[in-house]
Amino acid sequence: MLREILVLCFAAGVCALDTTAAWQLMLSQPLVSGTIAGFIVGSPETGVFVGVLLQLLWSGSMPLGSRPMPDAPVGTATGVWFAAALVETGGVSLSFSNLAGLLVALCVALAGRSTIVWERELNCRLMRRLRMRLSSGRNVNVELTQALSMTMAFFRGFLLCVLAVGVLSVLVPVLGGAGGVVGRDYKLVLLLVQGLGIGVLVSVFARGVRGRLPAFAGGVALALLIRNLAG
Amino acid sequence: MARKRTERRHLLGLIARSFYLQTAWNYEFLQALGFAYVMSSVGRRVASGGRATREFLERHTGLFNTNPVLASYIIGGTARLEERHSRGETSGAEIVALKSALAVPLAAVGDRFFWAGLRPLSGLLGILAAGWLGAGGALVLLAVYNVFHLYYRVKGVLRGYALGAGLVSEISRLRLPRLTVHVGWIGAFALGVLMVTAVHGWQAAWKREAVFVLPSVALAAGFLPQFLRTRVTEVALALGALGLLLTAGGLLG
């Protein structure tokens, strides 16, 4: 269990690096980090489900300029772990555990946003120090400063995940033990969240561009045709 | 032959380092440290220590910001100009001018294509694929995005290095604005498919009312005012809180 959590937090740290600090291969996208987290906690279906919902919600978030984004990869990894842990207790319905995982992911991602701002401020200090040394004619080591910054970015994601999992592990037995009380149907909320997420994509691809309407209608027609053919 | 091999090795090093351009992103100098880090491999070759190295670092630790993928063009071009500068063929001011002249147009083109177009599209296609392939959806997302991402990372450094200062005219010939339009069309098409698939999924798993509820919520959310659209996490959290209220209702009742 402890090993599984450490691997999860390590993966969250690596995916957090991918957001801005390195590579930007999109490992940080919720669908990818959710799937990875799902495999680590032994429940890929939960990972994909939570990942898809968060991917929909954050499709319109763009890492432009100084705007700090929610910490998607760490939030997703924690949310998937929480949902899978609740399922394991056997005391709650699947829709409740998915909703709880989603909520946890959103909360952790929002909390992570402030830590991104701190990280950037620390980077600023590192950079000021480097420039001060440079202007006073002393030797500077760009590679070392870069390595420090990279380490900081990784540990921000790793430690945030460790902290979130540590705090939330107290909640798992409490919610899991609630049994039938929390076993009601939460599908309506999940439907609304999915609708909201698709709405984000509508705002990205359809809003203000009438010319794209035929393409949208074509997609609808093709999907309906395939559905009818498939019976 | 040996010179060509060395040059290829240096360019590969530049490409590898370009992935770390934003490592030390900060509010005051933006991508400056990352750019200095990427160029420091060039600096070791062209600046012979002391004053030359200091001047080299001063040129590349100034404020810099552009799209991280298309920055590869500037990285390649700057590397070529630095080599010419070490032979006395160009001035330091010309290098700084090239960097600042290209940063804004590349940011405009790159952000529209990579952040506002390709990223949501690859996510959308990944989501659609996840419906059929499950965990394979993540691989589809990665493949769609990275085909373009890696192509422009590599091509940018190579073209930039080949053209040097001539890069400025190359930028106007980039095909990305046209590709951005195509990405929009594909995105709208895939969105249509997703809408039907989602409604069908809910209908089969739950209730017929999903046919009306899902598209209505999606359209309402799609046309929300800007300040609410940028707070989608908070809106989703509020919806989740609604779910918790249902739980509280269950506990009390």
**B142 and B3 Cβ atoms separated by less than 8 Å:** no
Is the pLDDT higher at B31 or at B2? B31
**According to the model, what pLDDT value does residue A128 have?**
95
* Mean local confidence (pLDDT), B90-104: 95
Cα gap A81→B252, rounded to integer Å: 28
Chain segment A105-136, per-residue pLDDT in tens? 999 999 999 999 999 999 999 999 999 999 99
Chain segment A154-178, per-residue pLDDT in tens? 999 999 999 999 999 999 998 887 6
Q: Residue A150's CB: how many other CB atoms inside 10 A?
A: 17
Chain segment A181-192, per-residue pLDDT in tens? 554 567 788 888
Cα gap B57→B55, rounded to integer Å: 5
Q: Which residues of B touch A93 (CB under 8 A)?
A: none
Mean predicted lDDT score pLDDT of chain A: 91
Residue reference for tokens 């291969």:
A25
B251: pLDDT strictly greater than 60:
no
Q: Do B23 and A124 touch (CB under 8 A)?
A: no
Residue B209 phi/psi, 5-degree rounding, is -60, -20
Chain segment B146-187, per-residue pLDDT in tens? 999 999 999 999 999 999 989 988 888 899 999 999 999 999
B209: pLDDT strictly greater than 80:
no
Chain segment A42-65, per-residue pLDDT in tens? 999 999 999 999 999 999 887 776
Mean predicted lDDT score pLDDT of chain B: 90
Most confident of the following: A22-26, A193-197, A202-206, B221-225: A22-26
**According to the model, what pLDDT value does residue B247 have?**
63
Asked if the interface predicted TM-score (ipTM) of this complex is over 0.85, the answer is yes
Report the range of poorest mean pLDDT among A25-29, A43-47, B34-38, B204-208. Answer: B204-208
- Which residue in B has a C-alpha nearest to residue A109's C-alpha? B233
Q: How far is A70 from chain B (nearest CA, A)?
A: 8
Question: Could you write out the three-class secondary structure of B64-105?
Answer: ECCCCCCHHHHHHHHHHHHHHHHCCCCCHHHHHHHHHHHHHH
As a dihedral over the C-alpha atoms of residue B205, residue B208, residue B211, residue B217, rounded to 10 degrees, the angle is -80
Report the candidate in B190, B215, B19 with the shortest Cα–Cα distance to residue B120: B190
Q: How many helices (H) and strands (E) does chain B have?
A: 12, 0
**According to the model, what pLDDT value does residue B250 have?**
57
Residue reference for tokens 């249509």:
B192
Which of B135, B194, B198 is nearest residue A35 as measured by Cβ atoms? B135
**According to the model, what pLDDT value does residue A185 have?**
62
Cα gap A63→A177, rounded to integer Å: 40
Please, which residues 147-206 of chain B have a Cβ atom closer than 8 Å to chain A?
Answer: 149, 184-198, 200, 202, 205-206
What would the DSSP string read from start to end of A66-117? T-PPP-HHHHHHHHHHHHHHHHHHT-S-HHHHHHHHHHHHHHHHHHHHHHHH
Q: What confidence tier does B253 reach under pLDDT thresholds 50, 70, 90?
A: very low
Q: How far is B95 from chain A (nearest CA, A)?
A: 19
Q: Do B196 and A224 touch (CB under 8 A)?
A: yes
**B134 and A45 Cβ atoms separated by less than 8 Å:** yes
Cα gap A37→B32, rounded to integer Å: 33
* Mean local confidence (pLDDT), A212-227: 92
Chain segment B99-141, per-residue pLDDT in tens? 999 999 999 999 999 999 999 999 999 999 999 999 999 999 9
